[in-house]
Each structure stands twice: as C-alpha cells, then as structure tokens.
Chains A and B, each alone.
Chain A
Amino acid sequence: MAADLAKRRARGGVIKRNVHAQSGPRREYLAFLLAGETYAAPVKEIREIVKPPPLTPVPRAPDSTMGIVSVRGQLVTVIDLRRRLRLAESQASRRTRILLVEAPWGEQLGLYVDEVQQVYRLSDAEVEPAATALGGDVASYIAGIARPMQQVSTEGGGGEQPPVIVLLDLQAILAS
C-alpha cells in the first residue's frame, strides 16, 4: 500500500527527461494536485507516499489537522495542505495520498494531497523566486514558481501539462 518513490521511479516514464542538456544542477520535485492546481515539493523532503489509511479525527485539534493515521504501527498526524494554504476542499477520491515528511523537530507528519502527479527535474533557470511575485500571508509558504520548459508527455498520453507549478516550502508550512 505504501508505494515509495524509488519504486515509482523504477517504473519509469514518470521522470521528465531533459533531452537538451541544460547547464546547472537540477533538483527533483514531486508534483501533486491540491484543489485542482499543481503544486510541488522537493523530492528529497518526502519520505514516502502512502494511500490514506483510515483517518481518525482528533477533536479539539488545530483546524488544519485532519487527524491521525497509523503507518505500520506508528501514529502520524495528518495535515490538510489545502486548509493550510486556504484552498477549497475537495472530495476524497481513490487518488488521494498522504506524503510523509519530517518536520524540523523530528516528528513524522503526513500531508494530505488530492493526487500525486509526477516528478519534475528542474534547473534553477526554470524556477522563478516567488517572493516578488506574490503577496498575502501564504506567500511565505511558497518557495517559487516553476515553468518547466520540457513538455514531454507521460502516463497515459496526457498531453496537457500545467503551465505553472507552485513550489512549496514544506518546512515553512510545517513550522507554522
């Protein structure tokens, strides 16, 4: 039930191959859907992707805490990224996933996303720093805006790619 990233990658086709080698280091980002928009976070910060186990809400917990789940016997607090980012909530579907990440204080937390899409390898040139582009109080959660140049299609002939990906600063989100 827990498909880890390595396996996903091994299946192939998910990673955007950059045909024309570009200069500069590339970082891997995992893209996912939140309320219909594409967001992404650095792959190395995501420990695991799991299908949501039965979720137990915790009364009196902070608003954006969805509840707790058990991942192989370990309790994990699940945070609703949509609520943290003030986005609309959507129906739970078969594609919803929980991303396991480690908070700065060492606790393992789950981030609830509507759907995991794919891994992008992005060079710095493809990332626009967000600070200048955005205002509002969620601005501090956003690390940048990515506009992937390579549009090689993947998975099931989906030719439609999101033109803009919002790169999230997970540590900032978790620390809030």
Chain B
Amino acid sequence: MVDTGDRARDEFFSEAQEIVEGLGRDLLALDEAVRANRIDPDLINDVFRAVHTLKGLAGLFGATRMATLSHELEELLDNLRLGRIDVSPVVLDMLFRSIELYGRILQVEKDGNDQPIPEVDELLRELHRGFGQREQQPLAAEYDLDPGLLAVLTEYEEHRLRTNIQSGLILYRIRVHFQLATIDQALDELKVTAKPFGEIITYLPTGTGADADSIELDILMASRSSVEELRRALSETGAEVEEIPRRAGTGGGGGGGGDTGAFEGGGLSSRPAMAPAGPISPRSSDSGSLSAPPDSATGARKKRGELSSIRSVAQTVRVDINKLDRLMNTVGELALVRSSLGAIVERLRATPAEREMSLELHRLQRTFERHLAAIQQGILEVRMVPLGQVFDKLARVVRQISRDADKIVNLVITGAETEVDKLIVEELSDPLMHMMRNAIDHGIETRAEREAVGKPAVGTIALNAFQKGNHVVIEIEDDGRGIDATRLLDVALRRGLITQDEARTTSYREALTLIFLPGVSTKSDVSEISGRGVGMDVVKTNIGRLGGVIDVNSEVGIGTKMTVTLPITLAIISALIVRVADRLFAIPLANVQEAVGLDEHTVKRLDGREMITLRNQTLQLCYLTRLFGLDEEEELSARLAGLLGGTRSLGGMRAGITGSRKLDRSSLGLSPGSKRKYIVVTAVGAKRLGLVVSALIGQQDVVIKTFGPSLASVRGFAGATELGDQRIALVIDAPALIFEVLSGSDRARPEPRGVHG
C-alpha cells in the first residue's frame, strides 16, 4: 500500500546511501594511496563520478542541500582530477567530512524535518572559498609529440600526460587494429591487459590503413616497463609497440600525421591522428631497471562509462529488510502448517483403512518439508551481508579519531567478507564504533609513551572477523597499554560493586569483566586509569540483545582484545522449550550448556542465594517461577478461565517440535512422567546460572519476534516465538538474566548498589 512516490523515495534513499558508502570506501583507499604516495587517477575519477551521481539523484528528488553540497564537491574533485590542486590532507579531510554530512543530510531528509545542519553550510563556505589553484606549466616539449595530438587532448588527458612525464615514465605509442563490430570489447580487453604496465592516456583513430570494417588506433601510453615487456604483454592483441623518443627532433616517416578526416562509426569522436613515432630509442635496454611496481591506471575509463548503455551492470535487486521479515514470517506460518500436517499424518496412520493415503500424504509432507527448508535457507541467505559494510565505517572512524587524538594508528582488517544478517550488521555499528574509539582513546598510548617503552610509534588495531560454526566472531585487538585489572578491582570495591571477599577471590580474567559493570563506567577515574569502561555496559547490553556475548582479554603493556561472538542470523534460532509453572518459554540453545534434573535436597542457601554443586563447581540457581512471579495454582485457575495459552496441548506441542538436531535425551534430562524440576545451565562467557524450570519440553527451531515498543521496558526477554496453534512462548534473554541475577539486582541488598540502570 505504499504509493509510488514513497517507493521512489525509498529507492532514492537506499541508492544514495549505497553511493555514499561506496564513496567512503573510495576515500579510504585514496587516503591510503596518498600516504603511500601512489595515487591512482581512477580512484579520483570514481569519487568524482559518485558525487556526480549523487548530485543528479539529489536534483531528481529535490534534496537541495545534497545537490548544493554535491555541486561544490564536484567542482573540487574536478580540480583534483585535472591536477589543478593537490590531494592534500586538508582536501581529504573535507572529503571525509562531506561523507559524514551526506549521512546526516540523508537522515534529516528521511525524517522529513527541515532542521538546518550548520556543518553543511560551513563546509559549503569552505568549499566555495576554494583552494589556490596551481599554475599549469606548458606541457613539456621534451617528447617528440605531434602538436596536432597535443591540441586535441582533453584537459584531463593533458594533466595525466604531464603527471606521467613528470614522474619519469616512458611514453609509448601502441598501434592496434580492431574490427568495428567488436571494438568496444577489444578495447576493454586491451585496457585490462595494459593496466598493470601503466596508464593509457588517450587513443585516437589513425584514419589510415583501415578498411571499411576495421579501424586502426594509436594509443598513447605511459609506462615504466621496457618496450620488450610491453610487446610481450600485448603480443596477443596484435599491437605494435613503439617508444616515443625524447627530443629526437621532428618525427621521421609520414603515415597520416596530419590526417584528420571525420571517422564514422565505432563511437569515437573524429580527431586528427597521432603522429607516428620516430626510431626506437636505445633507452629501452636500460629501462629494465626501472620496471619497479607498475603504475596502475587507465585514465580512459570515464569515456567508456559515457558510452555504456543505461542497463545496470549488477544483477542485483535492493530489498527492504522488512519485506524479508514478512516473508520469513510467512515461512514461519508455513512451518506451523507443516507441523499440523504431520499430526494429521500420524492420526491417519493409526487408521488401518487409510493406510495407503497416509503413506502418500506422508511423502507429500516430506517434499513440502524439504522445499520449506530450502525457502527458509534462501531467505536467510538473502539477508546476509558482508561485515565489510560496517568495517568500512569503522575505518573512517579510526581515521577521524586517530587524527583527533593525535595518535597514528594502523588498522588491519581481516575477514571483511564474513557474512552476517543485515539486521545484526546494522545493530553492530554502534557497539563496534564504541570499542574502536576506546581502543584508540584509551588503549593506544601516545607516540612518546610508545617510544619510551620501545614499541613502534604507530599503534596497531586489528579488526578480525571469521565464522565459527553458527556464529561469527569479531575481534578488536590493540597493541596499547592494556587494562590494569588491579585498579579495576580497586574501583569496583570502592564503589561497592563487589565485596572484600569477592575482590580477594576474583581471578584476573573475572576482574577484567568488571569493565562491563555500569557502575564502573560512570567513574571517570577508572576510564583514565584503565582505559575502557566508558559505556562498555551499554556495548555489552547491545551485543547481548543481538544474542551475542563479549569477552575481554588484556595484558598490561601488551594490549587488549575484545572478542564479540554473535549468531549469524537473528531470524531463526534453535531453542530449548521449557515449561515454567504452566507457561512455555524458549531458551536459545546458544546460551544453554546442559540441562539436569534438580535434586532439591542438594540445594544450599547462602546469603539468600540458592546454590548447588554441579561437577565440583558451584552453580547459582534462579527459580524462574519466582523471578517471573508465577504461581502454579494461580496459573491453573487462570487457564481454566480460558485466558491463557497454557499447557492445553503439551502433547501437540511435542509433535510440533521439529528441530533437526535434537539434543539427546540424557543431556536434556528428559524423563517423561517425572515431577522433578530441572535446571537449565545457561552461560555467558565464564558466568553460569542455573535456571530452574518445571519441565523440559524439547528443542525447536524458532523464529524470534521482538516485542513492540510498548514492551521495550520489559527486561529478561529477547522476544517471543510462535509454537503453533497461535500459542506463543516468550524467549528468555539468558545473558540479561545472568547479568541481572548474578549482579544481585534481583534481590534487595543491604547496601544500595545501583548496578542496574
């Protein structure tokens, strides 16, 4: 029911967003290239094109602010392209700023409010002021280049020629013959082949030697390679390679030097032909020593872009994630249908008369099941995007922060291609950003400090991602000063977050996890001393909301490593279905270590907490009936009143369990008919908590649906899932419960602790 205007607007936003993201990547590459002093003109061209496209888009959708910004940027980039100004840090900064501003503009436009963004106006003013343009020197006359050719070079080509000559490259004339029918393709192939060896500056038809179906082109190329190398490289294209000599007097040999002659076909504009080259210079023999890393570039790509058709290159569609959610929803419904079908098949099977039909139905059901699984898998795959999306943003942040903090940081990224559910990627950017900021602000020492302890002046932050089973692991590791666990303990003790006893018995690793306590974060002295702490509780909460866990490891003076482990997708998880009083709950299997029967006699009470000893380790228990305020008697009467979903058909429930890899009965402690309670051992990192439940029902793959905003304040649940028959089980947010119970905020404490916030 979205009208087409809205649809087009959405398209506009996602397209603009995509371009801005691409722009960010290009700028990072450019930034790196500038530092390495190897600027690829293609990169600048790409940036220019992106801004140009944004300008067009903005104009189309009346986003004036974006159009104005793009226009000014385009000007700046054009000057860069043409070598009128240098890619200086100032210019780069402006470009990076403009990316952030594009993001802001898009947000404001999307929200539909017209609030001013002063930063944009400021940047516009700066851009408008312009940069001192460099005086262009006349093109060096040291090469034997035909003035006719020089006259037809575009300003850009002239700039590239000049740049190449200035960097001491050799100029070559490459003569090729192409069939008109395949010229586009042949030219592209040639460019690809030539690219590693140098830069094609321009190409022109010679106007001679060609019959009606073919065309002869002279290509002007700059390269470091020797003429032999080039000849070898281009031998398959049938190109003749000649070096254009330096100051060899006026070129000998005629060959259509002044021929102009309009050239029809081939899509090339008519131009006077390039002068033929003189004799091959003997320089080529010693130029082998020059064949350092080949300069990579083809300046002619832009032309190609203009010639190409309007058909889009990529075979992809943009999809709104909500649409996928709805699809997933439908698939979830189908899964329920499948379960009901299964039940019918079972019933039919019990009737001897219907045996044949039941078999047939059973086969159909199996097929249905298979296809359904395929659809589910397919949708999941569509939702997956590479983590690179968020890593690119992080790289920009690193650049920004390291500038602000005046620390030089080298960011090493691996595994950017690792794929995660789109929703997770979105939710990840803030927590990762935060950790990255902490790593630079507090982890990496100043240059002087680093040098004093004999570390390299440039700090390193490694951002690694990899898949591990059904999870994705993201590590942020810095080689900074590390976290001082003793000081952390000290502060936690002073703040009353832990007791003296706890402080004494806390292991080093446990002490590090104190940085995730909110109480610690608010203390500025901690963040100064230890580094992390600022908002790490929030980071933890957000990661936890995604079903992930975060772990910290650090050594003083060596560095810190934060490890985030996340499920690959939020959409479907394996869960253990349990009964508490007479309600069903789902506990994500990712958080479940094991399930064991509870022997009430072994429960010890200590300081108001219930503990048992499980495999020689103390395990704190949490009675879910109590925590959730459930009472079996009350529940029963309410159910009788017909209000609750309850356990009306636990048998049917069991039939609905279709988990592909069921835990074996003993590990789940499934013992039918027993009235014993069970303990589900949940764990987050090193912390464990035993959730006491009334019964274990079984394992099931469930589609988690998050609560609406009206229930956002309810803690302890990750959402809810449908079990079939319109019944809903709440999904327990085990990490949140563990945190809540173990930090003691579930009970009144003698002294106020203020941990929960």
Contact = CB atoms under 8 A, between A and B. Distances in A.
Most buried by B among A55, A72, A79: A55
Contacts of A69: 726, 728
Nearest to B721: A75
A103 B709 CA distance: 10
Interface in B701-732: 705, 707-711, 713-717, 719-720, 722, 725-730
Contacts of B715: 60
Contacts, number: 86
A70 to B, nearest CB: 5
23 contacts: A53-B726, A54-B645, A55-B644, A55-B645, A56-B720, A56-B727, A56-B728, A57-B644, A58-B711, A59-B630, A60-B628, A60-B716, A62-B713, A65-B710, A68-B711, A68-B720, A69-B726, A75-B707, A75-B719, A75-B720, A79-B710, A92-B641, A105-B709
Given A56-B727, A91-B641, A109 B714 contact: no
A61 B628 contact: no
A5 B730 CA distance: 31
Chain A residues touching B, range: 20 to 34
A77 B628 contact: no
B329 interface: yes
A83 B570 CA distance: 35
A107 interface: yes
B722 to A, nearest CB: 5
A107 B643 CA distance: 23
B330 interface: yes
Contact of A77 (B332, B627, B707, B725): B707
B714 A58 contact: yes
Nearest to B729: A56
Interface string A41-83: 0000000000001111111111001001110111111010000
A54 B644 contact: yes
Interface in B77-107: none
Given A58-B711, A76-B708, 15 more contacts: A54-B644, A56-B727, A57-B583, A58-B707, A59-B627, A59-B730, A69-B726, A73-B329, A73-B332, A74-B705, A75-B719, A77-B707, A77-B710, A105-B709, A109-B708
Contact of B645 (A56, A75, A109): A56
Given A59-B629, A60-B715, A68-B720, A109 B710 contact: yes
By CB atoms of chain A within 10 A, which of B644, B645, B707, B725 has the most? B645
Contacts of A57: 583, 644
Interface string A85-106: 0000001100000000001010
Contacts of A38: none
A123 interface: no
A106 to B, nearest CB: 8
Given A59-B628, A68-B720, A75 B644 contact: no
A104 to B, nearest CB: 10
Interface of B: 329-330, 332-333, 583, 627-630, 641-646, 648, 705, 707-711, 713-717, 719-720, 722, 725-730
A108 B630 CA distance: 27
A92 B643 contact: yes
B330 A73 contact: yes
Given A54-B644, A56-B644, A91-B641, A70 B722 contact: yes
Given A73-B722, A77-B708, A91-B641, A60 B714 contact: yes
Interface of A: 53-62, 65, 68-70, 72-77, 79, 91-92, 103, 105, 107-109
B480 to A, nearest CB: 40
A1 to B, nearest CB: 10
Contacts of B642: 92
Contacts of B705: 74-75
Contacts of B332: 73
A65 B707 CA distance: 13
Contacts of A62: 713
Q: Which of A59, A69, A77, A91 has the most CB of B within 10 A?
A: A59
Given A73-B329, A73-B332, A54 B710 contact: no
Contacts of B643: 55, 92
Contacts of B729: 56
Contact of B708 (A55, A56, A91, A108): A108
B115 to A, nearest CB: 20
A62 to B, nearest CB: 8
B730 A56 contact: yes
Contacts of B710: 65, 77, 79, 103, 107, 109
Given A61-B711, A75-B728, A107-B710, A56 B583 contact: yes
Contacts of A56: 583, 644-645, 720, 727-730
A114 to B, nearest CB: 13
